[in-house]
Structures are given as structure tokens and as C-alpha cells.
Amino acid sequence: MAQSASNPAGGVRTLIRYDGREKIAWDIFICAVVFLCAILVPYRLLSGFDPIDAFYVFVTVVFCIDIGIVFRTTVVSGRTVIADPEIIAQRYLRSWFFWDLLSAFPFPVFVLLAGNDTAAQGALLPWLGGLRLVRLLSLLKVNSFFGRLPEFVKISGAALRLVVFAYWLILVTHFIALGWLAIGAGKPEGEFFTRYLRALYWCITTISTIGYGDITPDHSNHLQLVYTMVIQLFGVGVYGFVIGNISTLVANLDAAKAEYKRKTGEVLEYMRRHAIPAPLQFKVRDYFAYLWETRGNVGKVEFLEELPRQLGVDLALFVNRDVIAKVPLFREADELFLRQVVGLLKPVVFLPGDNIMLEGEHADCMYFLSAGDVDVLVQGVARASLGAGSFFGEGALVEGGWRTATVRALGYCEGYSLSVEDFNLLRRRYPEFDKRVLEMVEARRR
């Protein structure tokens, strides 16, 4: 995940890739630390209990390490990746560096420097408290981190939006509750935590537009009244947003599953309308269930056809890696052949008992089996059994066009078909393929 960059001194310094897993993991960790800071820093400040403790040291150290990491991480500008440490440093110094330094800077050292001078300490302390809030600026970076989460963890777009929404909602609720205390609202008695809980309770009942009314602003205090009204309006917005979005978010949480349900629903409705016999209906339903379980989708993935050719080939190579690994004819083939062949293969599924081809039938394609077993029958007598990794249907394409045997699927079978035109093209272009196919035809004839 690391990338090397030569430096003017002649040595080679290691840079961290901006899209490396380690960097993304670090960013997620920073998101969590920033979240913790956003919760604890203002809370501690308001409670008046804000010591220089392990939490403070931990956050300071993490933020300092982060600055070091940013200096050593490649950056993207448009579509180009910048791996020159000098340019990286310049860009960082011109953008976030100052704020990051301010967030990480251990300001309490000034208090220590002031020594026993209590007047100086008294003047410094309120400033230091305020400066600690600078750490909240890091929240501005959080959304760009979230954007990269799907590269690291398997998360759908809808689930990610839910996580981001929850992250911000928790923080905003927390800030509003603290704001309520800061303006002196609520009963002043009790420990700070109890007062905070009461404020949070007020905040949640107000934002969620429940508004029990058991905790209310002091009606003679303008600030509290205005604050409440603003939060009430904000609550209406949030409520509308939640109602409007959560249902779509949840519905889209698993878009593929929703699509599967929609498609099967459509098919079942069609079969019901046409009074298709129950066993046939069952077979169709079973087929869709099989597709869903094995592939996680039903039917064609349309966007593949819109990809540029090379990208499409790369994707096809990856998607078809199972058949490439299993079929010896492919496994031993060279890269050029593979890149050509994956673009020509069409995925097929056969149901248990299906006659994939019938003896004497005209042939227009051959098949490669990636999963399942088939029986080869000549005049009703089993001649051979073929499993994953084998191919069949080549005989008729080489010799005359008529199937020499019946091939029947034993269970669910998956594989790929290759049309006669593409088969002939491959034979012409790749003599090695031609040779292997002819050898197989010869062997099977015996």
C-alpha cells in the first residue's frame, strides 16, 4: 500500500497511498476520534471539569500523528495522483495545515509556562477553553472520510447515508442540549450530568416534534424563547427529512434484493394470470431463488454493456474468474486469448433434468461448465458424465453442425456459452485452442 518517492537528497522515502486500506482505516479511526472530541470537548468545557488527562493526551497525540500522516500521503488532483512530497507539503500547508495544527497544539503548556503567576493563568484559562473548541473544526473533514468508507467496508450507499445521518444527528442533538444549558435554561439544581440529561430530553422531545411541554423555556427570557423556537423549526425540518428519506433509505438498503423481489413478484403475477400449472410455476420460482442465492442478482446487469471495452474486459475477467480457473483449456491459455474469450462468453444456467442439447439437433454454440454435472447420452445410453471445468458441444461445431449426443443437466448447472461464429473466430486466431479442441473431438469420438 505504500508508494516510493525519490527525494532530492537521493534517498527513497515511502509515501502512503491516499486510497490504501491502511489510510482509509486511519481516516475511519480519525472520524471516531473527532466524534469523541465533538462530544466530550464542549461537554467538559461547559461542565467546568476539563482536566489535562489521558483523553486530552490521547487526542493530542492522535491529531499530531495525523498531521505527520497527511504530509506523507499522496493526494489526488482531478484525475492525477500527486506523489511528490514537496508538492504534497505545499498543498497541505496552504489548506488544512494551520487548522490541524491549531487542533493538535497542546495549548495547556502555556499554563505550565505561566508557572505560579495566578493572574496570568486566570487570563489564559478562558482562552484555552475556547481554543480547544478548534478541535471541532475537524468535523468539516469528516464527510469526505465518509465518502471513502465504501472502499474499505462492504456498505451500500443507502446504509452509508444512514450512518452519516446518525453521526450528525447525534452530534447536533448533543450540541443543542449543551446550547440549552449554556443559555441557562432548565432547572439549575443537580449534578451537571443530570442537567445535561434533562437538556437532552428537552432537545429530543423538541426535535422529534413530540413536545411534552414538561420542560419549557423561561417565558420571561427572550434568549431561551428564541432558542426554543429556532430548535422547534429545526425539528420540523429534521422530522420532514426523516419521514421523507428513511423509508426510501430502508427500501434501498438492499437495492439488489428489492429488485429481486420486484422481478419475482412480476413473474409470479404473470404466471398466475396465465394459469400456469403449479409444478412449472414452482420450477420458475426455484430458478429465481437459485439465481439470487448464487449470484446475488436476477437477470442481466445492464451497465456492463455501457462500459468502455477495456474496462468491460477487466471486469469480465474478474467476474468469470471461476470458469477461467476451472476449465483447463482456459487455465493454460495465454492472456491475449483470455481477454478475447471472456468478452465472448455468455452466462447460462440449466435446471435439473434440462436437456441442454439433443442428439441430432442443429448446433449453434458450445458450452463451458463452471458448476454442476451433466450426463452425455448417445441413443439413450449414458456415455459419460462431465463436471465443472469441462466443455461440451464442440463436436457438432467442428464436424457438420449436428449434435452427436444428448447432454442432460443432473442438478442446477452453471456455465458459459460460446456461439459458433465466436468459436470459429477463436479457432482461426489461436491455433493452440484449435489444436486442443480437435484433440478433444478425436478423443471423444473413440
Q: Applying CB under 6 A, which residues contact ligand CMP?
A: 357, 363, 376, 383-384, 392-396, 403-405, 407, 444
Closest distance to ligand CMP from the beta carbon of 387 (Å): 11
Long-range contacts of 136-140 (CB under 8 A, 24+ apart): 136/37, 136/38, 136/41, 136/42, 137/99, 137/102, 137/103, 138/30, 138/34, 138/37, 138/63, 138/99, 138/100, 138/103, 139/34, 139/38, 139/171
Closest distance to ligand CMP from the beta carbon of 382 (Å): 10
Closest distance to ligand CMP from the beta carbon of 305 (Å): 29
Closest distance to ligand CMP from the beta carbon of 390 (Å): 8
- Closest to ligand CMP by CB, 376 vs 409, is 376
Closest distance to ligand CMP from the beta carbon of 395 (Å): 3
- Closest to ligand CMP by CB, 104 vs 437, is 437
- Closest to ligand CMP by CB, 135 vs 408, is 408
Closest distance to ligand CMP from the beta carbon of 403 (Å): 4
- Closest to ligand CMP by CB, 132 vs 403, is 403
Closest distance to ligand CMP from the beta carbon of 16 (Å): 53
Instruction: Name the residue with the smallest CB distance to ligand CMP.
Output: 395
Query: How far is Cα 142 from Cα 309, in angstroms, rounded to an integer?
Result: 36
Closest distance to ligand CMP from the beta carbon of 444 (Å): 4
Query: How far is Cα 351 from Cα 290, in angstroms, rounded to an integer?
Result: 10
- Closest to ligand CMP by CB, 226 vs 382, is 382
Burial 357-373 (b: 16+ CB within 10 A, else e): bebeeebebbbbbbbbb
- Closest to ligand CMP by CB, 339 vs 444, is 444
- Closest to ligand CMP by CB, 244 vs 401, is 401
- Closest to ligand CMP by CB, 310 vs 379, is 379
Burial class (CB in 10 A: 0-12, 13-18, 19+), 116: exposed
